[in-house]
Amino acid sequence: MNYDVIIVGAGIAGLHAAMHLPKNLSCLVLCKDQPWECNTFYAQGGVATAVDENDIAFHIKDTLEAGATLCDKDAVEVMSSDSIGVIRDLISKGLKFDRENSGELKYTKEGAHTRSRILHAEGDGTGRVIHSFLIAELKHTLFKNALVTDLLIDENRCYGVSVVTKKGEYNLYANNIILASGGIGSIYEYHTNAHTISGEIHGMAIEHGLSMQDMEFVQFHPTVYVQNSWARKLLLSEALRGEGAYIVDSKNRRFLFDYDKRGELAPRDIISRSIFDYKHKSKEEIYLSFEPFEQSFLKKRFPNIYRNLTSIGFDIPKDKIPISPAFHYSMGGIKTDLDGKVDGMKNLYAIGEVASTRVHGANRLASNSLLEGLVFSRRAARRILEDNYTLKQKNFQICQAQLYKEQDKVLKETLRSIMWKHVGVARDIFGLQSALGGVEVMLQTDIGRMFKLRLLTSAEVIKSAISRKESLGSHYIKKIEI
């Protein structure tokens, strides 16, 4: 089957790219499970945007500061300057963000933003609202439960993808391929991500020798309830702290000010490390306190979080919620230019969390990732239309490898525990080397293809972490006590 464009992934990046590709192009969107099983759907806090032309410079400044010197300034400028246009476009198409009683858009503030500039929808339902809107607007074919198992790459061209669906295994071909497959959450024991987000496409990119960038930079969200039994741990959005929730020890002491004068509104990496360090030294449980809130405010502003916590049995705002940092977001990914075109490739694009434009540098500023998905997807779609590239077709063997093997399940747990223990909030060279050894041993054993791809991605994260000797942003090398 031949298409003009194949898009791998039905989150914000994939669906928004599809929105900007005209109906007369044959365009196919693929996702491996149900379309809502993606990180976009679970996003709570909101979308960052420059509030107006005057705010662009300040949004850029905040993003660069959070990124700890590693951001690409051009990429940040593009993201912030394009933000007003993409948001305006979505609103004009009918997307409904929350508004003040006066009818003005309602902005909230999150950590390390110097002003309120985060738009949200249905309180903490931003991701769900945006995702449902993009699905409703989709004018191209969406193929769900279609697992991509390989990229059909030869030299500097991508000819298509191998997929497995209930009809079996086959190849799909296209003139342009967009990778919008999200991040890598499932390689960590504690994470906030949808179960579909496992870094497999990253693994394929590594196999095919595509350039990867900044994979050592992974963001740990500081306020996650990790004591639930599901793989996806319960995120307690940063917007809660933006609105006044605070972090305390068992004696109700707000210890974060010992570490940074911004307290609860410091960047995520600083808060995560402070909690990690304080917990380690004091051996105390750490909590998120909702004391400043009325119950009615919580129910209205954070309806999903309220429902999730009360269904577990918490009585909020009275109860404090035990929290821990957990893996949340991958800053690195497949290296692209500012139109999402993959480094060195003619017709392959990567957008959203799978990509690395260096827009987030060493640490992502809160709510900049939905924005990144919107801005770079539209740019990629426009570039595809501009290039109007036609590929001389070529046939590839269908991927024959066995996808899953018996011992994958047990080894997956081992991998997740290794990554959490040694490649987590605070790292040291001995831990990283032992993690790499563990991953390399697993790569030599009799494993299925999909698990192998996760291992390749994990190895890339670890190798990048080993080669960056100094702490920077979210990559923190702890001093070894001898």
Ligand X SMILES: Cc1cc2nc3c(=O)[nH]c(=O)nc-3n(C[C@H](O)[C@H](O)[C@H](O)COP(=O)(O)OP(=O)(O)OC[C@H]3O[C@@H](n4cnc5c(N)ncnc54)[C@H](O)[C@@H]3O)c2cc1C
The residues binding ligand X (CB under 6 A) are 8-14, 30-33, 37-40, 42-47, 126-127, 147-148, 180-182, 192-193, 196-197, 200-201, 235, 329, 352-354, 367-370, 373
* Shortest Cβ 45–ligand X spacing (Å): 3
Task: Give the helix/strand (H/E) hosting 224.
Answer: strand 218-225
Shortest Cβ 171–ligand X spacing (Å): 14
User: Cα–Cα distance between 176 and 190 in angstroms, integer?
Assistant: 35
Q: Between the CA of residue 93 and those of 87, 137, 215, what are the distances in Å?
A: 10, 9, 36
Query: Phi-psi bin for 94: left (phi > 0), alpha (psi -120 to 50), beta?
Result: left
Closest Cα to residue 452, out of 389, 413, 403? 403
Round to whole Å and give the CA distance between 342 and 348: 6
**Residue 446: both structure tokens together:** 């009799």
Question: Closer to ligand X at the Cβ: 190 or 278?
Answer: 190
Residue 277, amino acid: D
Q: Cite the active site residues.
A: 268
All residues at 6 or more sequence positions from 253 whose CB lies less than 8 Å from its CB, including other chains: none
Nearest to 372 by CA among 49, 37, 8: 49
The closest alpha carbon to 113, from 68, 65, 79, belongs to: 65
Q: Which is nearer to ligand X, 278 or 454 (CB)?
A: 454
Closest distance of CB 49 from ligand X, Å: 10
- In sequence order, the β-bridge partners of residue 169 are 164
- Quote the longest CA-to-CA distance of the chain: 68
User: For ligand X, which is the closer residue by CB, 197 or 439?
Assistant: 197
The CB-of-404 to ligand X minimum distance in angstroms stands at 13
- Closest-by-Cβ residue to ligand X is 11
> Residue 5 or residue 436: which is nearer to ligand X going by CB?
5
Separation between Cα atoms, residue 212 and residue 459, nearest integer Å: 12
Calculate the CA 32 to chain-centre distance: 17
Helix (H, G, I), strand (E, B) or coil at 118: strand
Rounded to whole angstroms, the Cα distance separating 39 from 344 reads 28
CB nearer to ligand X: pick between 176 and 431: 176
Give 362 or 370: the residue with its C-beta nearer to ligand X.
370
